[in-house]
Amino acid sequence: MRRLWIGLTVAVFGLLLVVPVVRIAMGAFGDGWQGFANGLARPETLHALYLTGLIVVIVTLVNTLFGVMLSLYLVRATWLGRRLKQLLNSVVDLPFAVSPVIGGFMIVLLLGPETALGSLLGRAGINVVYALPGMIIATLFVTFPLIVREVMPVLQEIGSAQEEAASTLGANAWTTFWRVTWPSIRWSVVYGVVLTVARALGEFGAVLVVSGNILFRTQTATTLVYQDVENFNLIAANSIALVLAAGSVTLLLLMEWAKSRREVH
Note whether 89 and 123 are within 8 A (CB): no
Q: Is 229 in the site for another protein (CB under 8 A)?
A: yes
Q: Is 232 in the site for another protein (CB under 8 A)?
A: no
Q: What is the DSSP string of 109-139?
A: HHHSTTSHHHHHHHHTT---TTSHHHHHHHH
Nearer to another protein, 162 or 260 (CB): 260
Residues between 37 and 66 with contacts to another protein, criterion CB under 8 A? 66
**Member of 40, 58, 132, 251 binding another protein (CB under 8 A):** 251
Q: CA–CA distance from 100 to each of 138, 139, 198, 215, 227 (Å)?
A: 9, 9, 15, 21, 18
**Member of 37, 101, 126, 165 binding another protein (CB under 8 A):** 101
**Member of 50, 57, 61, 93 binding another protein (CB under 8 A):** 93
Q: Is 236 in the site for another protein (CB under 8 A)?
A: no
Q: Would you give the binding string for another protein spanning residues 175-194, x where CB under 8 A is met?
A: --------------------
**Member of 55, 198, 236, 258 binding another protein (CB under 8 A):** 198
Looking at residue 170, the DSSP 8-state letter turns out to be T
Q: Candidates 15-23, 31-39, 160-168, 181-189: pick the segment binding another protein (CB under 8 A).
A: 15-23
Q: Give Cα 98 distance to the centre of its chain.
A: 15
Note whether 198 and 206 are within 8 A (CB): no
Measured distance CA(78)–CA(67) in Å, rounded: 18
- Nearest distance from residue 23's CB to another protein, in Å? 5
φ, ψ of residue 211 to 5 degrees: the values are -80, -25
- Nearest distance from residue 194's CB to another protein, in Å? 9
Q: Is 29 in the site for another protein (CB under 8 A)?
A: no
Note whether 204 and 222 are within 8 A (CB): yes
Q: Is 21 in the site for another protein (CB under 8 A)?
A: yes
- Nearest distance from residue 37's CB to another protein, in Å? 19
Measured distance CA(55)–CA(203) in Å, rounded: 10
Q: Is 249 helix (H, G, I), strand (E, B) or coil?
A: helix
Alpha-carbon dihedral of residues 218, 219, 221, 223, nearest 10 degrees? 120
Kindly tell me the sign of the dihedral angle through the C-alpha atoms of 101, 102, 103, 109: positive
Q: Would you give the binding string for another protein spanning residues 140-169, x where CB under 8 A is met?
A: xx--x-------------------------
- Nearest distance from residue 34's CB to another protein, in Å? 20
Find, among 2, 7, 27, 38, the residue nearest to 234 by Cα: 27
Q: Is 91 in the site for another protein (CB under 8 A)?
A: yes
**Member of 128, 155, 241, 258 binding another protein (CB under 8 A):** 241
Q: Is 195 in the site for another protein (CB under 8 A)?
A: yes
